[in-house]
Structure 1
Amino acid sequence: MARRHLLLLLPLLALAFSVAVAAAEGQGDSAAFIDGASRRYLRDQQGGQATSMSLDEVSAAVSVLLGFAPPAMLPSQSSAKLNKVLLPNPFDRPRAVFLMQIDESHASVDSFISEAGSVFKTKIEGAENAATGLTDKDELIVIRSDESLDVQSGSDSLDNELTDLAIWLEGSYQKTDGKLNIRLESGNSLTLLVSKNADLEFASSLISLLKTIKRGIQVHEDFSGGIVSPAELIVCHFTGIKALEGEYGSAEIVKQGAEVVRTALTKAFDLLQAAYNGKIVGLVISTNEASTSLASIIDAPSSLHISRRLAEASMTNATASASIAAIILVRLSLAWTTGIILLISTLIGICLLMNMPLTRDTLLYSNVKLD
């Protein structure tokens, strides 16, 4: 009898095991490369199904998009995968990548990206550290997440940041009630209470995204047209969805939060596309659990800083700009001083002419015989 029950349980156990394996496979890290409409750097994905790439291959793709060579030790099989993702023209690379990791989310990357542009989806296999192949000679500048936020509820700085965020997302912020309302594409609205830690962290992540994008655009404008034109990597680490899932589980507010993130990502990428004239590619990574995907791609020793040559060029440009500004200031001061002196002299001369006596002056008429 016991043996019969055991035989009945074996198929059920096998079925449960297969479901668990499938679930585990579906919860791995996923990524999506995003291309603009004006300039294309990615191939069209065949069949509409997500491919699989290792972390090394994703990192190599980022290096190539930045205009650098992939790691020399990259296997030929991995190089073939890169050819399936990237267009083959080596002389036309964007040299700018917007990289965003959505931390510890149970939703796939599909929930956070819009299908309006060209998207190449992939699953990330393995969690080993990735080698970017970058060296100290590579001219690369990394713009990281701006997390210098005053997250104390009720502070004027936070209120101003939330107001700017509400305007950007076409929502509203009620300072008195501490409510942030964001309209959704579905017609509903997401209401966040700043007094709740999870809601505040989600809003802070959105603020950080907006500030990082603005800072990246400013850096790009500072270097555009200069002597040195470095590659640019904009990095944003988004933890807001993780906070909502930890507080509300799988409630409707988490789905609404994912929709807000999708809207914010679309707006952010549109801003970058306009500022970079289409020469930028986005990469969104969604991780299900604590992962080093983002750190493995960007935290190589060579990519933590601007290269020495770029730093020296930046210092030279800054010194030259300061010298030019000083010269302009001196010239303007001289011009204003001379102008004021001439104006005063002219006024004094006019006053003296208007008040001259009517009698003949002996000095003016020294050669004339006076009566």
Structure 2
Amino acid sequence: MVDKTIISFFKENYNDNPLIIKAPGRINLIGEHTDYNKGFVLPASIEKGIYFAVSANNSEAIRIEAFLSQPEKIEFALNGTHKEFNSFWGNYFKAIIEILISENYPLKGMDCVFGGDIPIGSGLSSSAALCCGFIYAITKISGKKLSREKIALIAQKAEHKIGLNCGLMDQYAVLFGKKGNAFFLDCNDLTHSYIPINLNGYSWVLVNSNIKHNLAVDSEYNKRRISCENIVKEVKLSKPNVCSLRDVTLKDLNNISDKIDAIDIKRAKYIIEENERVRRMMKALTKGDAQEVGNILNEGHWAMSTQYEITTSELDALVKIGENLEGVLGSRMMGGGFGGCTINLIQTSKLESSISSLLEEYKSQTSIDAEYYHLAIDDGVKVYSN
């Protein structure tokens, strides 16, 4: 168990009995790239996560150590100063500490060791888990509570500081997830509700294409966001009340088709139709209609492939292979795009044979060994143990 290993390491190196915080990764059943367009998303938090072993150290520093393949130890003074570091993850902690200092949050010295079992770059939102879990851990040590809504905003701001202009879906899913439920979030007003996943006899499986993605500054992610903003700006000229693609209709797109780039139109059409797929998915899950759930997954994937153009040939191959396997009801790429995983709904009685056939055919077509992970829907960020 990851958490036990981290606890043992912490006790051995810091001579204290730590508090353990678990921040889960998240899957997204449907609703990709709709969050920053004020639309609908349907994520869920999962069992895989990042664990933080923390304790107060009665010093003027926050000491953070990664229990990862390439360990590094970083120390931040409570005023935010630090020595140079090499790890990319250090930028997240740096951004969080700087934000908290700017908001006069009463930081206290603490020791922190973190590690987990979320595959990095697989679309399971390891960065949101890292940020939300660390902020939550700070509140436990510092003693000043922050609402989960506030933690989400700070985590989002930290991601913005290092160059990813993300929405709030990942942070909310990581913080508010509930075991056995999908989490419906309206990204316009942040209202949310829980949708029971009534799919007995079916299993969720993540297949990692082993094509890594890195959503960085000036990435393709940000280019698509600009496309969406271009559409809103143009529609707003005739409909002043329009504030986001949430307010734009397919008819509006048709009306401006001769005034704006065709690529922007195509991307906006994807977002509008993806919001409708979220509504359909909620109904299908509640009714327990596994066939419809699978259909929506496949439909969503090919829309991402041909309209939003964020998949890869390897991810397309995984979905196409699944379409020809009897036990696979549906699958789609999940996450920001350009690599990562597919999420698959598979008949439990045919689970092992379906996965075996899928991986074998994928290796045959791409010469890449894919990995798979069984998914269980779990709770959001929480104190895991003392």
TM-score bracket, normalised by the shorter chain, equals: under 0.3
Larger RCO (CA under 8 A, 6+ residues apart): 1
TM-score by length of 2: 0.22
Q: Which is richer in strand? A: 2
TM-score by length of 1: 0.22
Tell me which structure has the larger Cα radius of gyration.
Answer: 1
